[in-house]
A = this chain, B = another copy of it.
Amino acid sequence: MSIRLFNAQILDPVTMKVLQGEVWVDGEKISYVGDGKDLDSSKHTWEEVIDCQGNLLMPGFKNAHTHSGMTFLRSIADDLPLHDWLNQKVFPSEAKLNGEHIYHFTKLAILEYLTSGVTAIFDMYLDPMMVAKACQEMGMRLTMVSGLNNFTSSIEQTAREYETFNQPGSLVQYHLGCHAEYTTSKDILMELKRLAHYYKAPVYSHMCETSFEVSGCQERYGQTPIAFLDSMDMFAYGGGGFHCIYVTDQEIEIMKAHDMSAVTCPGSNTKLASGIAPVKRLLDKGINVAIGTDGPASNNCLDMFREMFLVAGLAKLKDMDAVAIDGDVVLQMATLGGAKAMGLQDSNTISAGQNADMILIDLNQPNMQPIHNLTKNLVYSGSKQNIKMTMIAGKVLYRDGHFPRYDAKHIYEDVNRIVKDLGLH
């Protein structure tokens, strides 16, 4: 597959500069970025030529924390206390699932990611094989993380998945992890640590999402979660935490020492009333911060534009300071920050040799006008209506409101049929 995208404004998220020019794609990779003047594009045989019409081409968003399969619980348990939400709705419903269900639910989530310009997801859910199957079939780039805990998965399964998925050139990679300290026994955590040392691999987990979690860990082990896991030498090869709302200064120092990432999920944290993550404090200490939607049962949507506004806005509200975090920094978190957290160094920018994971932003929409500042427009006014195209690994998966490679209605029907069969309708 060779594609020429011309007449584009190309955003470099590192410098925040915009280049007028074109991008060539060969197979899964970007082969050329420039003004096109020194090359004769007519000498190439293009399978597709895309006129970007002056719109903004940029690296896709990295959704650095999600549970895609939870689409089946969307809007089924809103406005409930966290405890009731988990115990009365989420856990009993999940207990009924099989792998095929998760495959279909993940496919629905993938459609939604594409509408929001997400080109890679960091997913933790039951049955990673079926999550990976859905992503591979549909062309979504996936970093899977083990959700190991006392009830599901096992250290053997985690090791098996680690070796199965981490193949060169695959759309799917796999990181070690566990669901959370409070759902995973010390014995299993010790085994996970040994695995991390054996593979020289980073470890990821939900960390410090609620004050309840933190106080529970202190009761159990006399330490806060990240400090406790670090005391086991869990992060010798780095890793990261999902949520990180109630992190102490000591824990931020630990994260810094191990070059760990914090993944903030403001939509979910807001809707579940979990709290506001100290994103400015994390950034000030030099921690890499990425952004995740969390799963659709808690958020309830998978929309990186909503998350970006919330990251900036909640940081301002938390400190009562409109200057707290600059919008451009948030855009970097949603792209570069996610790529670093997820180990996607090859999907980081639009430059030759990188994976062709790109999105085209429609500037000819009223919310993008006038054009004073493209990046602030994106973070503060942007919405899914602005995603004109989503490309992953050189394939156009979403364009002008349509999914050229899938029958979306068929996916909706499958999901609605299953939730009905599960007795959830």
B323 touches A370 (CB 8 A): no
A94 to chain B, nearest CB (A): 15
A369 to B301, CA, bound (A): 10
A112 to B80, CA, bound (A): 33
A384 at interface by CB-CB < 8 Å: yes
B372 touches A76 (CB 8 A): yes
A75 at interface by CB-CB < 8 Å: yes
A365 at interface by CB-CB < 8 Å: yes
As a 0/1 sequence over residues 49 to 83 of chain A, the CB contacts with chain B under 8 angstroms (1 = contact) are 00000000000000000000001101110111110
Contact (A419, B370) CB under 8 Å given A115-B385, A376-B78: yes
| Chain B residue with Cβ nearest A403 | B366
A206 to B390, CA, bound (A): 42
As a 0/1 sequence over residues 77 to 95 of chain A, the CB contacts with chain B under 8 angstroms (1 = contact) are 0111110010000000000
- Residues in B neighbouring A248, C-beta threshold 8 A: none
B327 touches A79 (CB 8 A): yes
A367 at interface by CB-CB < 8 Å: yes
- Residues in B neighbouring A270, C-beta threshold 8 A: 313-314, 316-317
As a 0/1 sequence over residues 104 to 131 of chain A, the CB contacts with chain B under 8 angstroms (1 = contact) are 0000110110010000000000000000
As a 0/1 sequence over residues 298 to 322 of chain A, the CB contacts with chain B under 8 angstroms (1 = contact) are 0111110110010011101101111
A385 to B321, CA, bound (A): 32
A300 touches B370 (CB 8 A): no
A110 to chain B, nearest CB (A): 8
A75 to B328, CA, bound (A): 11
| Chain B residue with Cβ nearest A302 | B367
A254 at interface by CB-CB < 8 Å: no
- Residues in B neighbouring A272, C-beta threshold 8 A: 316, 322
A273 at interface by CB-CB < 8 Å: yes
A184 at interface by CB-CB < 8 Å: no
Which listed residue, B320, B373, B424, touches A372 by the CB 8 Å rule? B424
Which chain A residues numbered 367 to 396 have a C-beta less than 8 Å away from chain B?
Answer: 367, 369-373, 376-377, 380-385
A80 touches B323 (CB 8 A): yes
A213 at interface by CB-CB < 8 Å: no
Which chain A residues numbered 309 to 351 have a C-beta less than 8 Å away from chain B?
Answer: 309, 312-314, 316-317, 319-327
A273 touches B319 (CB 8 A): yes
A296 to chain B, nearest CB (A): 7
The stretch of A152-160, A172-180, A409-417 that contacts the partner chain: A409-417
B327 touches A372 (CB 8 A): no
A189 to chain B, nearest CB (A): 29
A271 at interface by CB-CB < 8 Å: yes
A222 at interface by CB-CB < 8 Å: no
Contact (A364, B323) CB under 8 Å given A115-B385, A369-B71: no
Can you report 20 residue pairs joining A to B where beta carbons are below 8 Å apart? Answer: A71-B369, A74-B370, A75-B381, A76-B373, A79-B323, A79-B326, A81-B323, A82-B322, A111-B366, A112-B366, A267-B313, A271-B312, A296-B381, A301-B381, A301-B383, A364-B408, A366-B408, A367-B384, A369-B412, A371-B416
Interface residues of A (CB under 8 A from B): 71-72, 74-76, 78-82, 85, 108-109, 111-112, 115, 267, 269-273, 275-276, 296, 299-303, 305-306, 309, 312-314, 316-317, 319-327, 364-367, 369-373, 376-377, 380-385, 401, 408-409, 411-412, 415-416, 419, 424-425
- 9 A-B pairs with least C-beta separation: A270-B313, A112-B366, A301-B381, A111-B366, A75-B376, A75-B373, A273-B316, A300-B380, A273-B322
